[in-house]
Chain A
Amino acid sequence: MSSKYGLLVDYNWCTGCHSCEIACKVELGLAEGQYGIKLFADGPRQLPSGRWEYTYLPVPTSLCNLCEDRVAMGKLPTCVHHCQAACMSFGTVEELAKVAAGKPKSSLFVPC
């Protein structure tokens, strides 16, 4: 039985460095204005406690093919490979869901 694969972003640690975004553009050869994964930001926003919350999250688009060429060669998706905060992982949805259960802030994407 073939499993479905996905991307897990442990966004507690995403620093908004854009490396995933540009790595994907390079890998897929995307034109200006197109993204296979796009970075979004919330904040800096002041919480009622006075602390500032600042959250980044990259979201895969419909162009994401989970780096099929790289994965076929035995490599990791380029976004995962280059993520500066080392906060992205690639795996089967089942494996990733287990990992996500143990993380305070994480998001599991199943782009395709």
Chain B
Amino acid sequence: MMRDELEGVNKSVYKTDWQWQEGEYTVTRTNQWTAPGCHNGCSVLYYTKDGKVEKIEGDPLSPYNQGRLCMRCIDMVEIVNHPERLKYPLRRVGERGGNDWERITWDEAYDEIEKNVRQIQEEFGPECIVSMQGTGRNICWQTPYLSYSAFGSPNFVLGFLSGDACYLPRTTIGHCFMGDFMVADCSQHLERRYQDPEYVLPEYMLIVGNNPLISNGDGFFGHWVVDLMKEGTKLIVIDPSCTWLASKADHWLRVRPGTDAAVIIAMLNVIINEDLYDHDFVENWCYGFDELKERVQEYTPERAAEIAWIDAEDIRAAARAFAKAMPASIQWGLKVDQTVCGIPLAHALLSLGAICGDLDVPGGCMIPRCAYDISDSYGCGLWNVPDEMLQKMLGVETSPLHALGFDPTANGDTVLQAIETGKPYPIKMLFIQSTNPIANMAADAPRVYNAMRSVPFNVVVDAFMTPTAIACADLVLPCAMSCERNSGRVWWWPLRSIVKVSEYHEAKSDEQIILDIGKRLNPRLFPWKDDVELMTWWVQSGNRFHAGWPAKTDQTFPELVEKVIDWPEDWAYRKYEKGLLRDDGQPGFNTNSGKCELYLTLFEAWGFDPLPYYEEPPESPVSTPELSEEYPLVLTTGARTWEYFHSEERQVPRLRESHPDPLTDMHPDTAAALGIVEGDWAWVENMRGKCKQRIRFNPTLHPKVVRSEHGWWFPEREGAEPDIFGVFDSNINNLTVQGVTGPTLYGAPYANQICKVYLVTKENDCSPSEIVTRKGGFQNVK
């Protein structure tokens, strides 16, 4: 039975107030996001005493997560009170890489930032300041607002993420396709959740490019999928490895990494040729069906099966199951973005949802927007940047999608080139807020390491001393964790409060930091007295937009704090019928044609392929057969672990105990042929570099596919170079590549590389961190 969130909860212990006293503890009902990182934002109860968090529990009265928590949130007290957390602002003493710091005051730190920013603005122009953030930290709108409004620079970027290959390919193509995004409907927009009479259980859910149980990506609590399975939802899982979900699925397609697009287009082929699509929806709400129909003829199940190393009959069966299900839902994830054909893959998935009539129906592929239309993303404050300055955004020249603001960020590959070449202008300062690019996110980490060190002035804001800070920072500022912030979570729905219940030494919230810096540099655009006023502005920020839906709000942040979690009343399904999606209030989708563009009119105008297609990974057994003789295995990276959020938490004892070492999954037969037994340390190597990880057997993989973890560094080791917390020793991004993207600049092959694997021996053992920091990199050391 699905769990009714109120049923069975002891109301004398768990209250609906936002705060109460329980013995010696003050209990506060609010929501947890970051720091430390996560892509979600679950409801929790903090138990505090004398200004310190002593206990945490999931809030059983929250319909969002219904009391449930992942191990990271359960272990929050150990993280929040960790002795190695950064406590004070620090200034570098001596050389970069030396890990020598002196404690300074916040005022001294701000003075230095102000002095450098003004000097760069005057001498070189504001565009020479680049601000960046990592993924999944609560800085999605704060860092952009700071960049656009205080620094006056259009260059806000996601670390050195190649091809903007996280989320942005999907959101961008979603905007071209239908003016919106799609999300699997697990009733998360309805306060009564599964009990709401409007909600319909998906008959099938297609899971592609993620393991939602572990990743909780994109504001989606993964175990909602289990709630649905208990009620009878069936699964189609596309994954190179048999995850727990795949083992429970009716259809598991074990694709070769990077070939999902061929498989999805072949599913479209089956659905169209067997006439399994929704004629009404296609006729009334889709544009370009005939062109799509013609295109999919090139992708027979047999051809896709050969590309993806699977069986054509399995593709047919999955396609039929999906098309016949009423409704069917699609839970898509990060790996969709991490191929050079991320854009056409996402386009194919949107087309699949559309022609099967599953878009925005209950239990289908719903169309979300942020509650109250809150400006929660990378575009926050972009309106403060003058047009002529916007034209200087890095990436605009090479990509019309960036130029037209489909994605209001600079492009990571272009930023890297600008640092390396000084063109089109030199980069003089990096403001690095909650990202650790050389440990995670930047492809070709050694290249990015060298680039970051060449920038004259760098500021890092983070919770712990990171390899990135040691390598390149001049100032390090301690950021507050979630329980120490007045903030909020909205992506997508409901709106959730994040309220400050404790303090940690001199750490400040990201809200307070941008406010302090903004007040010094451009007080006109930072008129708020304090973080509470700033958050009220944020809650009400939807008021500046004109879209009819969602309705805006005039509530204040303190009012939200009392509500804890706020489900606006205007959630609606089939919004395209109701005139809720278009700016002009007419029925239809927010595109030129007013329809879902199976054939993309914008892409046609820009000279990109307007229809879904498959492109082979640039390095693969198929596209580079000679290279593959030396590097015969296909390497996929980035699978999540229960314990860690990307490069975080390696210093947290209970989490590290559960997962002490970096792991590479390999088929036992492949390992046997290489003389490897489970638990051995092995080199994973290709043309660009190598790293060492421990081998774990995974008999569900194709014998030619290996899967390596990402984000590893070792906080227990020496911070100073050459060791630099061992950040290059097990770093899978020694093997990945920058600057190889799809034609739109979106999508990069993080998850479809080639490699060889061999045992670490006494003779061949060495320190990759030393090779990178002292010996000029892998190309110099063979």
Contacts and interface: CB of A to CB of B under 8 A. Distances in A.
B168 to A, nearest CB: 28
B244 A46 contact: no
B777 interface: no
A109 interface: no
Contact of B70 (A17, A33, A46): A17
A21 B75 CA distance: 11
Interface string A2-31: 000000000001011111011101100000
B244 A54 contact: yes
B699 A46 contact: yes
Nearest to B658: A18
A86 B653 contact: no
Contacts, number: 96
Interface string B219-243: 0001100110110000000000010
Contact of A25 (B3, B57, B226, B654): B654
Given A22-B658, A46-B699, A81 B57 contact: yes
A44 B74 contact: no
A42 to B, nearest CB: 11
B96 to A, nearest CB: 35
Contacts of B653: 32
A17 B213 contact: yes
B67 A82 contact: yes
Contact of B247 (A23, A52, A75, A85): A52
B242 A54 contact: yes
A48 interface: no
A95 to B, nearest CB: 13
Q: Determine chain A's interface SS by DSSP, over half rule.
A: mixed
B700 A18 contact: no
Chain B: number of interface residues, binned into ranges: 35 or more
Contacts of A78: 57
B75 A75 contact: no
B642 interface: yes
B75 to A, nearest CB: 6
Given A43-B247, A54-B244, A32 B657 contact: yes
Given A44-B242, A81-B67, A75 B226 contact: no
A107 interface: no
B58 interface: yes
B110 to A, nearest CB: 38
Nearest to A81: B67
Nearest to A53: B247
B105 to A, nearest CB: 36
Interface string A35-69: 00000000111100001111010000000000000
24 contacts: A13-B229, A13-B230, A16-B244, A18-B658, A19-B70, A19-B71, A21-B71, A25-B654, A43-B247, A44-B247, A44-B698, A45-B699, A51-B247, A53-B247, A54-B242, A54-B244, A54-B248, A75-B10, A75-B13, A82-B74, A83-B68, A84-B223, A84-B226, A86-B226
Interface of A: 13, 15-19, 21-23, 25-26, 32-33, 43-46, 51-54, 56, 73-75, 78, 81-86
The 3 closest A-B pairs by CB, nearest first: A54-B247, A22-B71, A84-B223
